């Protein structure tokens, strides 16, 4: 007679423990441990935190069943629409995220996800060029450093991210980084194949910044915050947005469609939109915060740095990467050819 009671008690204990667990899938080195610990203590939960280095890996993981495994995922802006179309993330209930009002107006209705229907901005930044000024006489102001053999002959690394890197070649050629003209994409592919042959190869953002810091490469293509972080260790490193323009991007928080603990996911989203918490995140990873109410808590050198918060003149040269729908297959083909050569 006692066995059913014991089994019921164990089932209840298991359910209780499950509700006290939050599984997050995010880019590496993107949130301070103290923020995770504060959430754990406040809500008496345990966070399981897995990381990825490229959005393609994130997408593959979700498609392979991660949409049932994780409670939160942090995709780049241009993946949000595809994730929503694929049924991998759920529509958001804004009544459960009152801190949405803390966002800058421009992030409350972004083009990539109108009305924040499926996602909430987490961090934003730019993608450009980092170099060692002691090894590049005259400095760098153009994507030509990668794509013109006469412009620079030293060691460089390309970013291992399809849309960013094909986009850089397109910008150098004078096209939009969202161009879908097959002829223009072929041009970009040829540039990248040639650049790859002259380079030290491809690397993810963490790998590229580490090799720049170690002195293995003098020039790298990378995300802004990754470079600002290593500038703290070596003031010989400079970050620039090329004169041809580059990428402005947003990484967003989204809840997978079959997240096991959606209630905790909503709590976490609302938590990171708190002004002090949002500032702690940006002060740690050197990226710009989409939370306007965080400004009083941001380090002054971060908030006043035009490389972090670009001026309107620089913003005018930047583009968001768009979801291209079926045209993405063209990019996939070009990228496959580049990586294979």
Per-residue pLDDT of the chain (341 residues; tens, 9 = 90+): 333 444 444 444 443 444 589 999 999 989 999 999 999 999 999 999 999 988 989 999 999 999 999 999 999 999 999 999 999 999 999 999 999 999 999 999 998 999 999 999 999 999 999 999 999 989 999 999 999 999 999 999 999 999 999 999 999 999 999 999 999 999 999 999 999 999 999 999 999 999 999 999 999 999 999 999 899 899 999 999 999 999 999 999 999 999 999 999 999 999 999 999 999 999 999 999 999 999 999 999 999 999 899 999 999 999 999 999 899 999 999 999 999 98
pLDDT of 137 reads 87
pLDDT of 341 reads 86
Cα separation values, 294 from 46, 82, 275, Å: 26, 30, 4
Nearest to 89 by CA among 269, 328, 258, 263: 258
Q: Which residue has the tokens 């790859």?
A: 196
pLDDT of 222 reads 96
Rounded Cα distance between 316 and 329, Å, is 28
Topology of the domain comprising 125-248+317-340? D-Maltodextrin-Binding Protein; domain 2 (3.40.190)
Is 125-248+317-340 the same fold as 2-123+250-309? yes
Cα separation values, 267 from 101, 177, 246, Å: 15, 36, 34
- What are all long-range contacts of 208-214, with beta carbons under 8 Å and residues at least 24 apart? 208/157, 208/159, 209/130, 211/157, 212/130, 212/132, 212/157, 212/237, 213/237
pLDDT of 20 reads 85
Rounded Cα distance between 23 and 48, Å, is 5
pLDDT of 2 reads 33
Topology of the domain comprising 2-123+250-309? D-Maltodextrin-Binding Protein; domain 2 (3.40.190)
| DSSP, res 320 | P
Question: What's the whole-model pTM score?
Answer: 0.85
Boundaries of every domain in the chain: 2-123+250-309, 125-248+317-340
Tokens of 188: 């970009």
Nearest to 256 by CA among 71, 82, 91: 71
SS3 116: helix
pLDDT of 5 reads 41
């Amino acid at each position: 007679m006692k066995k059913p009671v014991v089994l019921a008690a164990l089932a209840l204990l298991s359910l209780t423990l499950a509700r006290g667990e939050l599984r997050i899938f995010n880019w590496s080195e993107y949130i301070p441990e103290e923020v995770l610990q504060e959430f754990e203590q406040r809500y008496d939960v345990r966070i399981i935190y897995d990381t990825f280095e490229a959005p393609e890996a994130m997408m593959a993981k979700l498609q392979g069943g991660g949409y049932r495994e994780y409670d939160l995922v942090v995709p780049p802006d241009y993946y949000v629409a595809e994730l929503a179309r694929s049924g991998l993330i759920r529509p958001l209930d804004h009544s459960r995220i009152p801190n949405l009002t803390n966002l800058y107006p421009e992030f409350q209705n972004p083009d990539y996800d109108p009305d924040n229907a499926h996602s909430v901005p987490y961090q934003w930044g730019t993608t450009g060029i980092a170099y060692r000024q002691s090894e590049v006489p005259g400095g760098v102001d153009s994507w030509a450093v990668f794509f013109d053999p006469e412009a620079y002959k030293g060691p460089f690394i390309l970013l291992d991210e399809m849309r960013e890197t094909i986009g850089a070649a397109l910008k150098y050629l004078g096209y939009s980084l969202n161009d879908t003209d097959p002829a223009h994409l072929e041009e970009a592919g040829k540039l990248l194949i040639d650049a790859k042959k002259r380079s030290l190869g491809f690397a993810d953002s963490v790998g590229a910044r580490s090799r720049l810091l170690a002195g293995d490469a003098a020039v790298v293509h990378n995300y802004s915050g990754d470079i600002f972080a290593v500038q703290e260790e070596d003031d010989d490193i400079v970050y620039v947005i090329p004169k041809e323009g580059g990428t402005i991007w947003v990484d967003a928080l989204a809840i997978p469609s079959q997240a096991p603990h959606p209630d905790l996911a909503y709590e976490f989203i609302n938590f990171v939109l708190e002004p002090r918490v949002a500032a702690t995140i940006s002060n740690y990873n050197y990226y710009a915060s989409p939370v306007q109410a965080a400004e009083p808590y941001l380090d002054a050198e971060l908030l006043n740095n035009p490389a972090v918060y670009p001026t309107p003149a620089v913003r005018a040269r930047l583009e968001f990467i768009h979801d291209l729908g079926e045209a993405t297959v063209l990019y996939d083909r070009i990228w496959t050819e580049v990586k294979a050569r």
